[in-house]
Amino acid sequence: MNDQLQWGGRFTGAPDAALLAFGSSLEEDLVLAPFDVATSRAHVSALEGGHVIASATADALRSALDTVSGEIADGTFAAAAIASQAEDVHGAIDARVRQLAPQAGAWLHAGRSRNDQVATTLALYARDRATRGSALAAATAREALSQARRALDAGTLLAATTHWQPAQPILLAFWLAAVAESFARAAARFDRVAADAKLECPLGSGACSGTTLPLDREAAARELGFAAPSRNALEAIGNRDLALDLLHAVARALGAASRASEELVLWSAPAFGYVQLADEASTGSSLMPQKRNPDPFELVRAHAAGATGALAAALGTTTGLGLSYHRDLQETKAIVIRATERGLAALAVFDRALAYVRWNDARMSARAGDGYTVATDIADALVLRGVPARRAHELVGASVARAEREDRALGPADLAALAAAAGLAEPLDAPLDAAASVRAKRTSGSTSPAEVARAIGALEAVLAARERMGTA
């Protein structure tokens, strides 16, 4: 039988090479190698703590695992594992330990199944990548807030849109702070995954029912940074909630990046001209000399779609499975790893590209009032004078229609006509330009300069507190 396999005693024939290769996950899960070594070291502690193996055997196993850890770090392990055609990274590490310490290595898998081994390794992976995702999301939030501070000082205006139609004037700082808020939430979502990945340790659950060997599961859990061993072996070895939650956090963070990317791509078009991506982050055309393409943001949109699809696929692989382990879960692992690695790379790209955005403050501010974006403020002014909201809406809508037909902006004459139509004795006082509209906002969380400044400061404090706590 193949020495790389961790099974085979009850078989008399070798596995079909093509079928074995189809079932191999080695190249996809090599990224788990450092976490498998950590899991194996903890299992050695469980074996030693339960007096299943002698201290000398435990020391020999730890020494071999230290060597494997070094080979993983310098890249030699991956190449050797692929050349050996091992079934997966877990088997490859086990085989390498047996090569390095033949007598001690034969004890490494005592009381352990690949089922609890994989579940534990995936939990460690989820913890590590969630921590990385949190740091990336928090960094992007801080970058957006830094740019929001600059935009607030500049007083840059922007026509906010709904349905991609001009809606109401806002501050550019308000938009940037909104981006920061979405990434702060993404960081918190990653934090919850990382925290959950420290709760229950599956190691020691065996194949599905635990083991008759007196493993010191508490020692293994402590060594790996878990609060306690898992309570139910049958559930623990088939549970992929952490992996699914990690991918969900990745997809949601990329969703935030994709929504911002959509606007940045649109605003970079000459028809808008609101932003320009610096040369360092732009690409050109092989045919059209004039082109400046915002490729990083377009690719982020695509990665967001890919992560969303991967999440659906990963959820699908777990649907309909009974308790305990099923080989379908190997595909769950592969989907989660691929999408997470690519997703975190895309989040890093978004953060890097955002720093290269150059804002055309003058153009944005000049167009913030286009499309009659102050119309709602005029209707509100009528409401404040006692005109029912539906009547105010009707009157201002008619005024906008007249101005559109005459191809002009709303002006003082329109305010006078509205006051008369509403039966008001006094002239109507309402914002007629974007800057006045922004200043007129009164509610908390609005786009008024004072509220935007307050919100920026509050979110900066939240991110600073996270950083002091070592969360990101």
Catalytically active residues, by annotation: 163, 285
Map 94-105 to HEC letters: HHHHHHHCHHHH
C-alpha torsion 151→155→161→167, nearest 10:
170
Report DSSP state, residue 445: T
- Those residues with Cβ within 8 angstroms of residue 109's Cβ, 6 or more apart along the chain or in another chain: 6, 94
Own/partner long-range contacts of 16-21 (Cβ < 8 Å, ≥24 apart): 20/87, 21/85
CA distance 31 to 8: 26
Rounded to the nearest 10°, the torsion over CA 102, 108, 109, 114 is -110
The β-bridge relationship of strands 228-229 and 200-201 is parallel
Lookup: tokens for 378: 């005029």
> Distance (Å, rounded) from C-alpha 457 to C-alpha 460?
5
Query: What does the alpha-carbon distance between residue 186 and residue 252 come to, in Å, rounded to a whole number?
Result: 7
Residue bearing tokens 């969900």: 248
Query: d(Cα 357, Cα 319) in Å, to the nearest integer?
Result: 43
Q: Cα angle vertex 126, ends 124, 132, to 5°?
A: 105
Judge contact between 169 and 365, C-beta under 8 A.
Answer: no
**Spatial contact of 151 and 173, defined as CB atoms under 8 Å apart:** yes
